[in-house]
Amino acid sequence: MIILERVTHITKPPEEPLYSPHGYVIAEDGTTYSLLYPWWHGAVLALLYPDHAREAGYKMPNEVDELNVYEFQRFELDNHNLFPVVRICSSRILSPCTLDRGGKPVTEAQTEAVRLVFKALGMGARDPVTTDHKDMRVSDVWAFLRDDTDVYGLGKREVRQTSLVCKDDIDKDLDLE
């Protein structure tokens, strides 16, 4: 069975997280999950919220090498704004670090954990950060994290699996009929 301790390095606040070239998931209490494998944000969300993953039709395999990361990325993309977690992708080879603040207001513990992650990544105030809202510098991230507006403009939404949505549903949702 796959467990968090097998696929992440878990750091409780106020400790500094380990460097991860793959990324981080930060819980409400500031606990930082440093990914040990690339593209595992979705799988970590499924491990943190197993009931929701099960209800959405995702089944965690028994072994790490059996996990389809792309399938769990779909879980992440479909549901990321439902969870009170901050996700950071730290692969900075081809692009800046990316940050997603999730669907709930960011806590002070999470803000401090983000600061410690940026420190672990060797980032400074002028380094770029990409979010799904806008691009910014690290120095601007703190105001972005404190801003509790709904950056997605979705409010409360119904959870649906994207793979099951047909064109008619999309047209209806967008009032294109």
* Domain range summary for the chain, segments of one domain joined by +: 4-173
pLDDT value of position 156 = 47
**CA gap 140, 125 in Å, rounded:** 8
pLDDT digits (tens, 9 = 90+) for 52-75: 999 999 999 999 999 999 999 999
Percentage with pLDDT > 90 across the chain? 70
pLDDT value of position 172 = 47
**Calculated CA dihedral for residues 108, 113, 82, 104, nearest 10 degrees:** 20
pLDDT digits (tens, 9 = 90+) for 108-138: 999 999 999 999 999 999 999 998 888 999 9
pLDDT digits (tens, 9 = 90+) for 6-20: 999 999 999 999 999
Cis peptide before 61, with omega less than 30 degrees from 0? no
